[in-house]
Amino acid sequence: MKSEGWIDVQIWTAVDTAELLGMLADPVIQGGWEENGVVHLYWPNPQWSMEARARLNSILQGLDPDASTESDIRVEELSDQDWNRQWAQSVGPIRIGRRIVIRPSWEPVALQAQDIEIVLDQKQAFGTGHHATTRMLVEWHGNLVHGGESVLDVGAGSGILAMVALRLGAASALGVECDPVAVDCARDYATENGFGDNLEFRCGTLEEADRQGQLRPDLVLANLDRQTLLLVCDELARYVSHGARLLLSGILNEQEQEIVEAFSKAGAMLSQRREQEGWLALELLMAESCEGVS
């Protein structure tokens, strides 16, 4: 699939980038960071519209009533090449938890004895570990993978969650992703990081990837937006009913109750929660496994 380019929305504001992204809660935004007092947000060109701009203006006005939002916003069209260059320049190495290092190839990091690393040269911003939603799951499932597990990553993006799981000792990982561009990137990343047949990526929906309902993962990871989580709630809960641990992310604070209630009705009960920058990650288990958990 060929991209139609990108929109770089440049905002002169003191508003925190993570807070703004959280308020927008727009899954099509493919990256955001602040540089010298300017927040950059990136939309795929076809998804940028007058409605998107009006919503951005409204949210900015709510966060900073004194701001003159129209005069503080500049919109610039970018080619894929220009977007990739700007995004790559914004992203450096990060350490998540005690052991996990994610870095671009041009920035080597001195690793400690127990460290594992994933090298990602950002071809597209599909889950690089820098956003809180990805970061929480990377750190959390690092505490759950002890060796030999099978992992299912739904909404795999760059494949970072599946790759980290394998580095930690999982036996196999399957990433499912609807966006063919992201799937191509994930497969490239897997090759560049030396993974083999134990890592697979399938393009399509979860229903298409597991038509016969035969997958029996030990750990399921789903970093998705609210609407998609509700849409695939029953399918994800089915894995929990077979004994899998389910970690969800991509959830804003105010969406927690709705998500928890939907999954509870499907038989997956809240066990633990984590929070970063206004985003939540939730662990769900079979109802009988959660007795006594508040």
Which CATH number is 181's domain given? 3.40.50.150
Half-sphere exposure of 199 (CA within 13 A, CB side): 25
Name the amino acid, one letter, at 202: R
**Whether residue 140 sits in one domain with residue 33:** no
**Whether residue 128 sits in one domain with residue 65:** no
Q: Out of 40, 66, 88, pick the residue that ends a domain.
A: 88
Whether residue 131 lies inside any domain: the answer is yes
**Whether residue 158 sits in one domain with residue 71:** no
Length of the chain: 294
The tens digit of pLDDT for each residue in 129-143 reads: 667 788 899 989 878
CATH of the domain at 26: 3.30.70
Strand (E) or helix (H) holding 250: strand 245-252
**Whether residue 183 sits in one domain with residue 129:** yes
Q: In what order do the strands lie in the sheet with 73-78?
A: 32-35, 38-44, 6-12, 73-78
The tens digit of pLDDT for each residue in 43-96 reads: 888 889 998 899 888 888 887 776 555 568 899 888 776 666 666 666 677 888
**Whether residue 131 sits in one domain with residue 81:** no
Whether residue 111 lies inside any domain: the answer is no
Position 290 confidence tier, pLDDT thresholds 50, 70, 90: low
Distance CA 119, CA 99 (A): 14
Distance CA 140, CA 82 (A): 34
**Whether residue 156 sits in one domain with residue 70:** no
pLDDT for 86: 64
**Whether residue 145 sits in one domain with residue 52:** no
**Whether residue 45 sits in one domain with residue 160:** no
**Higher pLDDT pick, 45 / 21:** 45
**Whether residue 195 sits in one domain with residue 150:** yes
Whether residue 278 lies inside any domain: the answer is yes
Q: Note whether 272 and 139 are within 8 A (CB).
A: no
**Whether residue 239 sits in one domain with residue 191:** yes
**Whether residue 137 sits in one domain with residue 37:** no
The tens digit of pLDDT for each residue in 217-236 reads: 999 999 988 889 999 999 99
Distance CA 275, CA 132 (A): 9
Distance CA 178, CA 156 (A): 9
**Whether residue 151 sits in one domain with residue 286:** yes
The tens digit of pLDDT for each residue in 109-122 reads: 888 888 889 988 76
Distance CA 176, CA 288 (A): 28
pLDDT for 294: 39
| Number of neighbours of residue 166 by Cβ within 10 angstroms | 23
pLDDT for 201: 97
Q: Out of 62, 88, 114, pick the residue that ends a domain.
A: 88
| Number of neighbours of residue 285 by Cβ within 10 angstroms | 18
Q: How many domains does the chain have?
A: 2
The token pair at 135 is 């970061």
Whether residue 106 lies inside any domain: the answer is no
**Mean pLDDT of the region 17-43:** 76
**Range(s) of the domain holding residue 244:** 123-290
Distance CA 125, CA 84 (A): 9
Residue 187's SS3 state is helix
pLDDT for 125: 43
The token pair at 118 is 């994933």
